[in-house]
Structures are given as C-alpha cells and as structure tokens.
Structure 1
Amino acid sequence: MSTSLHHRAIEHLGTRIVAGDLPAGHVMLAEHLEEELKVSRSVVREAVRVLQSLGLVETTKRVGIRVLPASRWNPFDAQVIRWRLAGEGRGAQLRSLAELRTAVEPVAAELAAANAPEEIRRELLDVSHAMRDAGQSGDVPRFLELDIHFHSLLLTGSGNEMFANMVGQVAETLTGRTVHGLMPDHPRATALQWHVNLAEAIANGNPEAAREASDRIMRETISDMEPEWKNQPRVFVPVQRP
C-alpha cells in the first residue's frame, strides 16, 4: 500500500469531516470513496480504520461509513487538533488547548522542579536561553523548534507519564499558532524572560517559583489569544449515563 495515498485519503476525509463539509450523520460508501479519491479499496479501508480510531466515523453493515458528531471525536489526538486549527473552529480549539495547558503546565513545572533529573534541568536552561536569542533575532522556525522542545522537556521532566503524553498536543498548538500567523516574529521580551525564569526555578529546585512562572506564561498566552475565540461557542460533551 502506498503510504502517500493512505496519508492523502486520511487527510482528505479528516479535514472535510472536521470542517463540517461532511456533517454528522452523513453516510459514505467505500466504492464511492475509491472513485472520488482514485485509490484502491485497501487504501480506503485503512483510512477508514484510522478515522474510526479517532472517533470521526463508524462503519455499519449494509449502511456504510457514517460520520460521527464532534462529541465523539478524540480531542487529544494531534491530527484532530491540527484539522480543527486549520478550519473555522480554530478559535474554540485554541481556547480548549490554552485552558488545558493552563491547568496542567504549572503543575508539571512544580513537579519538574522537585523531581526532574539533572540533565533535564540543564537542558531546559540551555533551551530557554536559545529561545530568547531566537526570539530576539526574529528567527521564527528556530524559535518554534525550541519552544516545542522547551515545553516537551517541561512536561517530561514532571515525572508524570500522563503529562508527558501531552507533548503531541502542545506541539500541534504551538505549530498551529505559528503556521496560521498568530505568533509575532519577535515575541515580547518579558515572555522570553519568563521562560528563562521558569527554567531557572526548575534548575534551582524551587517548585513554588516554577509554578508561578509557568502560570504567568499561560495566563499571558490566554490574554494574547482571547480575541481569537471571542463569541465562539463552547462544546458541552454529553455525559455517558449508566
């Protein structure tokens, strides 16, 4: 099976479903997808299997491939996040991610200050200084790379494997903000310094200072991004009742 064809089929269908072009309840037939995408049945079958794993579709015998409502999607999957950031739901997705990070990263910073291995503490400090240099020089690709690495180290350094598994979501968030022109070429000097302060607090084993620095970064992020989600409706997922 061609990996590129497989990827193209997933991207084509996933993007259209998340954008609402294929609304909840819409039924597709495998033979029609073969014709539309100009791919084999095995490619369609594998693409549908991936979309099923993300909660975007379900297959029903003698009916077809049914698109599921947004409440069934896996909101933590990096692909779903990327597709949402590329569409009209960008603001709502940014808000959900920012609020999630605000709830998690300050705690992760506190835990990292108490528990991170020495090599992670040193690397965080090095990366924070490199981020400041890249931000001041306006090197956007380099800054994005370092920003992702910084927050990945922060989450991993917490010693909490569930926090560490949020690295993909954070990476998609930071990438999406950059790709869609929502990050300045030259980040504010205060924001750059706060990352250095956070790394220093972790390096020095100061949990309280680390949590405060991370909380400051995340609250500033929310303040900056709030116009993007103004008037965007919130998503209330139905509770699964016994």
Structure 2
Amino acid sequence: MSDDKSILTSENPTSRRAPLAVTEEIARRVIDGEWHDGSPLPTEVELAEQMGVARTSVREALTRLKAKGLIASRQRAGTRVLPRMQWNMLDEDVLRWTWSGKDRVQMAHHLMQMRRIVEPAACELAAASAPDAAIAAIERAYRQMDAAGMDPVAYAAPDLEFHHAILAATGNPFLVGFGATIQAALRTSFELSTRQPGAPRRSLPLHRAVLDQIWMRKPAEARRAMEELLGLTESNIQRGTAGMA
C-alpha cells in the first residue's frame, strides 16, 4: 500500500503540469508550420510517444487547441490543422505563441494595420465626447512616459497605458475590451518600436500632440495626430525587426 501511495505522490505533480506543457509544444509546432494547413496531426498515441507523456495529456492539449481554433477533429478523418484565418488570433495564448514563432515580423505588420484602423478613430471619438476625467487619465499616462526619459523599459508600461486610456475614453465597451484582448500583442509592439536608440524621446512629442488635440476637442486633428504617431511607430518597428524575418 505504501508503495502505491509513493507512486501516486510522485506522479500527481507531473500529471497536473503535463497537459499545459503538451499544449504549448503542439501549438508551437503548428504555428511554426511543422504541420501545414489542412494536414493531419499524428495520432494521440504517436504524439504521446514522441513527447514521452501520457495519452490523456495529449488528449487534453488537443481539446484546448480545438477551442482556440488551431485544429479540428472529425470521425475517421482524424485531427487536422485549420487554416490560419480560422484561428482565434485575439486569444491571449494564440497571440503569445504567434509572437514567439517564425512569423513575428509579419504579425507585427498585421498588428500595425489593425492599429491604423482602430486607434485614429478612437482618438476622434475621444476628442468628440470623452469626459474630462477620461482625458486626464490619458494625460497621467503621458506624464509617466515623460518621467521615464530615455529608458525604453520604463517607457513601455505607460506607453501601453496611454493607448489603453484613449480606447477607454471613447466610452465604447467593445473598443475597451478589444484593447484588453490584444494587450500582449500591443506590449510586444511597443517593445519592438522602442528598440531604436532615442525612440522614446522622439515619440514623446507626437504623444503630446495626440493628447493636446483630444483636450482641445478637435476630432479631425486628433485623428491626424495619431496617424502621425503610428507612422513613426511603424518605422521604428520595421527597423527593430530588421534581420528577424
């Protein structure tokens, strides 16, 4: 009986950790293109043997990846990789896996496209209708950016908060939720854009221009100010990702 207990005690921690580790490994192999769109994955038994884990851990990992839209299963057809366009790209885990994968440069480009669609419009809305308290939150983030000086690490957090505060200032719950959903990707975007020497200090006046136009209640000017800021950000990201493709 004591031997049985010792076996259970030693195996339980592994059984709790294994499904998460297996999910990470299979996800990264899918994202890195080991199995192309529409191609079948190995069977549960084969994956378990490859990774040296229990079949139940593989089954649980595959269930999680199905929920995130990476794979799908059908009777007699097995488990297959779904086209990337069907993945739940706003899922926090999928974002994290994608940013650490081989297509990081392309993902940065796609993120900038999305930001160019959303953020100038958000500035326009904020300038038109945000209460003073919401604009004050944008200004607090700006002042923290200013205090960070040339330190890109210290600059990144208030930079993220500045952009979140603009989305919050629109009063639109969908935009606020959108910002929270893509927070991981935005953080990576800001890290890439501040890699260039002096990037924080160069971007600070453009952030100030966005803030000023929102305070002055000039929607069209606020939109243009954000478009100019995003132009600099995109340029910094292109330089920051040079050689990563």
- Identify the residue that residue 17 of structure 1 maps to in structure 2: 30
The offset of 1:193, in angstroms, is 1.6
2:199 to 158, 174, 187: 187
1:38-72: per-residue Cα shift (whole Å, max 9, x none)?
Answer: 44444433322221122210012234321122232
Give the total of aligned pairs.
Answer: 229
Listed as ranges, the gaps of 5+ residues in structure 2 are 1-11
TM-score normalised according to structure 1 size = 0.80
- For 1:103 and 1:181, locate their aligned partners in 2 and report how far apart those are by CA, in whole Å: 18
2:120 to 87, 106, 130: 106
The offset of 1:103, in angstroms, is 1.1
1:126 to 102, 115, 140: 140
Listed as ranges, the gaps of 5+ residues in structure 1 are 233-242
Q: CA RMSD in A?
A: 2.8
Counterpart residue identity of residue 18, structure 1: I
**Is the CA contact 2:193–2:199 (under 8 Å) kept in the aligned structure 1?**
no
Task: Spell out the pairing of 1:143-158 with structure 2 (5 A cutoff).
Answer: 143-158=155-170
**Is the CA contact 1:125–1:203 (under 8 Å) kept in the aligned structure 2?**
no
Counterpart residue identity of residue 78, structure 1: E
1 or 2 for the larger relative contact order (CA 8 Å, sep ≥6)? 1
1:175 to 184, 187, 204: 187
**Is the CA contact 1:108–1:155 (under 8 Å) kept in the aligned structure 2?**
yes
**Is the CA contact 1:148–1:170 (under 8 Å) kept in the aligned structure 2?**
no
Deviates more, 1:162-171 or 1:146-155: 162-171
TM-score normalised according to structure 2 size = 0.79
Deviates more, 1:101-110 or 1:72-81: 72-81
Larger Rg: 2
Task: Spell out the pairing of 1:65-76 with structure 2 (5 A cutoff).
Answer: 65-76=79-90
Give the share of equivalent positions with the same residue, in percent.
26
Q: State the secondary structure of the residue aligned to 1:167.
A: helix
Counterpart residue identity of residue 17, structure 1: V
Counterpart residue identity of residue 73, structure 1: W
Q: Which has the higher helix share?
A: 2
- For 1:47 and 1:78, locate their aligned partners in 2 and report how far apart those are by CA, in whole Å: 16
1:67-114: per-residue Cα shift (whole Å, max 9, x none)?
Answer: 122232223333323322222212211111101101110000111122
